[in-house]
Structure 1
Amino acid sequence: MSDIEKPQVKASFRGTNCLVLKDGKSTILVDPYFTRVDAKTVFLKKIQPNPKRIEKALNDAQVDQADAILITHAHFDHALDLAHVAKATGAVVYGCESVANVCRGGGLPESQICVVDPKKPVEIGDFSVRFIPGIHLAFPFILRLLLRPGRKITAPLRPPARSSAWAEGQVHALHFTHPAGTFFNQGSANWVEGSLKGCEADVAFLGVGGLDLHKADYWDKWYAETAGYVNPKQIYWTHWDDFCLSLDEKWRYLRQVDTVLAHLTHKLKKEGGPPEEKMPWLEWIDVFA
């Protein structure tokens, strides 16, 4: 098979853990969060999707139709916009029961909602996706009081509501199989020891948001429990940006995430690890180039 005939998967990073995936047949969105509620509002007032920002973000990403929206967990910076995006694109939303209740609260019909079974891969065109149960990044004490980790959304969540209403629910990592290759996405940086055995992938998209709230020993343990098992040939970091800034503003790092990335870059070079880089801002890459 010539290079021209080989299947290709393109990906575009749209902030936080949002990835737009296209292979010429199917379009998939992972954790599409485009409203980007500002820092003064996010913990002090009720929040809701911003239709104008969502429409512009979809236009900028060249998405007018999508086959699927995959949600790694139900926090607002991953799931606030999902019902609105699903209505605009016709996509089916896949995630945990908490994600389903975000959809229901946003008025999405049941025909566009699918609660996933980790034992059964989701088939989307040439993509086969496994939802792998995990846990959310460990928050420091004050954030634990505010967000109360481990909660679920047990009834339809109708915005506007406080950001803390978007409880995380079940956290999942995503393992993709495609004729072009395999790739992996983890939207929140924590681990269940050994849970990723057998989840090797050519490429890993790893969310680093919140790692700066911990120390280097946590970073190293997280890396060993994710990339150590996934064993990728290439790593792209996601969730590195300040998600309280509009996509129309110049990006900046989320708190001190640049310090984490510098540590990980040094570690990988020292240990002969795979090539790594930040997922390029609002650009497209060939995942398996």
Structure 2
Amino acid sequence: MAASEASVEATFFGTSSVHVSDGTSGVLVDGFFSRPSLRRVAFGRIAPDLGRITSALSRARVRRLDGLLVAHSHYDHAMDAPEVVKHLGGKLFGSDSTLHVGRGSGLDEQAMTRIADGDEHTVGSFTVRVLGGLHSPGNRFPGVIEEPLVAPTRASSYRDGGCFSFLVSHPTGSMLIHPSANFVPNKFDGLDVDCLYLGIGALGAQSPRFQDDYWRHVVEATRPGLVVPIHWDNFFVALDQKLRPLPALLDKFARTKEFLGRKSAESGIPVRFQDAFEVIRPFVR
């Protein structure tokens, strides 16, 4: 095992929040730590919980950032991001809608960068390629955020604003972080990554044909050495409790897990669920 490969570590925080660091540089995808209850999301107004944000970052020993990449602008991806950047530094990378979330929180324009499909950004020791995509089927809040969004506000105010995946490359390896369980045919052909963080939210509710096509166009296309499922957990439960799947009324996790197990056995590609705050070395085979 080369020391350089072991230098890159990835920490999972539930939903699609993943921190990747080589000990010097660090990038974070989404960074959603507040996790308001289902009752509050459904019937009330939501806002970043600064106590939960700082507690989670402290527990994970994340003290600074070079960049925070937002996959789309729903609250479970974008709501906390500006506050994380204020706390840790670095730049917020996102769509026009995500930047409006930043503006509503008072984040300085110089701390934000608009992204689009095909962009490539140097973020510390990492290179990030932005890949446009589609939200998983059943998008409840499509559309764009057209003006600065000030919290507290309704969850429905966080419109998706366009969806992205991120190819995060380092001199020692590469990973694709793909938060939404949908695909653009042939979009990822030939990427060949060491690790794939694979969004599986609502995948169990889709048809077998959709599931097979999803695996083919995302997993088979990128030929990862490891698949780590993300966006499977009940994000209405705080991170100080053990991660658990969404209730059966909201997703069919058992079906998804059976599907992943079968595809892993057929392909020989290992699938590994990562616990909250667990650190793995994604480039070490």
Alignment TM-score, normalising by the size of structure 2? 0.94
Contact 2:92 2:111 in 1 (8 A): yes
Partner residue, 2:259? 263
Contact 1:8 1:288 in 2 (8 A): no
Partner residue, 1:58? 57
Partner residue, 1:201? 193
1:215-244: CA deviations, max 9, x gaps? 332221111111121111111111111000
Task: Give the total of aligned pairs.
Answer: 280
Partner residue, 1:182? 174
| Pairing 1:1-289 to 2, within 5 Å after superposition | 3-4=2-3, 8-139=7-138, 147-149=140-142, 151-255=143-247, 256-269=252-265, 271-289=266-284
Same amino acid, percent of matched pairs: 31
Indicate the RMSD between aligned Cα atoms, in angstroms. Answer: 1.5
What is the deviation of 1:18?
0.5
What is the deviation of 1:118?
2.9
Paired with 1:219 and 1:201, the residues of 2 have a C-alpha distance of 21
What is the deviation of 1:263?
1.6
Paired with 1:165 and 1:74, the residues of 2 have a C-alpha distance of 10
Contact 2:17 2:29 in 1 (8 A): yes
Contact 2:243 2:275 in 1 (8 A): no
Question: Structure 2: which 5+ residue stretches go unaligned?
Answer: none
Paired with 2:67 and 2:253, the residues of 1 have a C-alpha distance of 30
What is the deviation of 1:92?
0.4
What is the deviation of 1:5?
5.0
Paired with 1:6 and 1:197, the residues of 2 have a C-alpha distance of 24
Paired with 2:4 and 2:75, the residues of 1 have a C-alpha distance of 40
What is the deviation of 1:7?
6.2
Question: Structure 1: which 5+ residue stretches go unaligned?
Answer: none
1:19-49: CA deviations, max 9, x gaps? 0111011011111000001011112111111
